[in-house]
Structure 1
């Protein structure tokens, strides 16, 4: 099994290993080390808060990319009482990197679309590491149009390093598919809730990223390009990725301050992968609260606010 521990978590993991050793020693030797163990547990809790309260952008990016983070299917299982997956773009094929279907959260029916990464190497190859082809974006649009027809809200879960840049994808109109989705999502007459659940990479994220409420989970990123690509372009050196990550302002806190997103969905301390159940509860609460807020608006108010929201991005004063 691959070691998915992150470098900045090392001091915490060493402390947790020490606690396990003391517990084992206490059981084997029948010696009471309760006080020592409790002291180490208290220190571990303090250290955990210190580490995750002061993460650098590069460290947050590492958490966003963590191989054990919940996928779109995981979140669907966690927040939905029922879900039916729908397939195909009715034009070319069925892209496994971008999935969608109809779900119910309690009594609330909704259409859910999202990028799907794999759980292992074989699954990732099948899912193309969450990098969608044009047929994936066209499938998503088909399902969103269906949602509008039957007056179902839309939940979009974004987790992709970017749209697939291969020759076949470009030949089938990758840029056109993403641009069309952005245009059409701007005028759909049903509420759209967007949540970045991991990576929010470039046009791949934007292709299903236009909504009335755009939120990011706490340890995720949303950026015009990856820090590695940015560093290669600006500094001609991918090793400057840490510097680029800071300059890109890609964290949830940065983007909330810049008013590019509307809210941050908290995660369990250490990241969503540490506690799937709690992560699902937090996401479900945020989605339902946002949906309730948007549903108070008339269709005209909703569309006007959606349009104004994206037109405001990039405004600045000199």
Structure 2
């Protein structure tokens, strides 16, 4: 009888330890709302809406503010850009999307996968996501200038543009952490490639990215974003590269609800899709290159 009692005690103790371990596992859930939206200004966050969620996205940038009051700080200036997009989450932690942008008549297909989520007990200290975009330049052939460029020092071929020439690509790894209830920060690295470029441009660009938010109320945050294209000698085709893209600096305010996010900001890049900003931005925040912009998202859960 004593043997049975001892076995029961051991079994009960083991079950208690197992239950405690399982409880701890259950409690170590992903942190809530490191960001309120999957997009921050025109950068991606590690956040993906719940499965079966459709997102409508409006991104708009006005002209630069360098003329001041004469064009109402860029609201009436030429060079405005807009993008309309739809994103859908077919399964948990994976999102696909399609968008249409005014500049260069880009049509883009994109996907994002959040591999890891930061957890409340820090067993997973950061969130990690992968993001990729392929875009098609939809302009007429006569707007491509000299045509194909096969070599930096070579001659441009006759103006014949096929689908492959119109393609560009962007890939990024994003690492983010929610440090406390009011502060979240992300960093990332990216690779951009254009199949066809002009004689004074590179085909490839590597970039680094930093962005974040500081909450000042339950539904409001200060937000910021910085993208920096790197000039890496081993992949640079130009020496010197006088037309390389300028860094993109943006900062603003976000107001959000359960299904909406509204962000208004000032920033330098006139491009909206990431490969355009990383390859072609010539606006300099040090030289009156800032422009007003806003981003609006709307979610529908099915």
**TM tier, smaller:** under 0.3
Name which structure has the greater RCO, CA cutoff 8 Å, separation 6+.
2
Higher share in helix: 1
Structure ID, larger Rg: 2
Structure number with higher strand proportion = 2
State the TM-score, normalized to the length of structure 1. 0.26
